Amino acid sequence: MSVEWNDSLFLSHDSMDDDHRQMAALINKLYLSVKENFGREAICRAAQNLSEFSRTHFDHEKRLMERYNYPDIMRHLWQHRELLDELNLLIYSLEGASANIRADAIEFIDNWFTIHLRDSDAKLAYFLNSLGHDAESEPAA
């Protein structure tokens, strides 16, 4: 399963859309690594790259939610933790002795991304856009 980037995934918030495009590309790279059986190291590296980028993106969203007092911040952050936990489990299994690549983890990641983006991130983008937030007014890292 891979993420097909299309107009339904755009949130009309430039920095979030840019990050989401990059996340989709990293998810697709992970999926391709598994599908084409690039080997444990390549799959692990793809999962680590996705995890690292996700952490950066989630930190960015957290700063925005805190700065603008987003009312649903706790649920949103919990969802971020859910993905990071799944990625950590996948990486741990790849670094360990497990011989099986967890196909269910790849499916979970793909589904999580699409659902989270269309629901939670869409609500966050709407909230930020309603306040007149744009990329130039984002808090520094």
**Residues 6 or more apart in contact with residue 69 via CB below 8 angstroms:** none
Indicate the pLDDT class of residue 7, thresholds 50, 70 and 90. confident
Helices (H) and strands (E) in the chain, counts: 5, 0
Which among 129, 139, 51, 67 has a CA at the least distance from the CA of 121? 129
End-to-end CA distance of the chain: 33
- DSSP, collapsed to helix, strand or coil, labels residue 47 as helix
Indicate the pLDDT class of residue 29, thresholds 50, 70 and 90. very high
| Tokens standing for residue 134 | 């744009």
Q: What is the pLDDT of residue 135?
A: 53
**Would you state the CATH architecture of domain 12-133?**
Up-down Bundle (1.20)
pLDDT digits 0-9 by tens, 58-77? 999 999 999 999 999 999 99
Question: What rounded mean pLDDT belongs to the chain?
Answer: 88
Inform me whether the pLDDT recorded for 141 exceeds 50. no
Higher pLDDT, 84 or 97: 84
Residues 64 and 107 sit within 8 Å (Cβ to Cβ): no
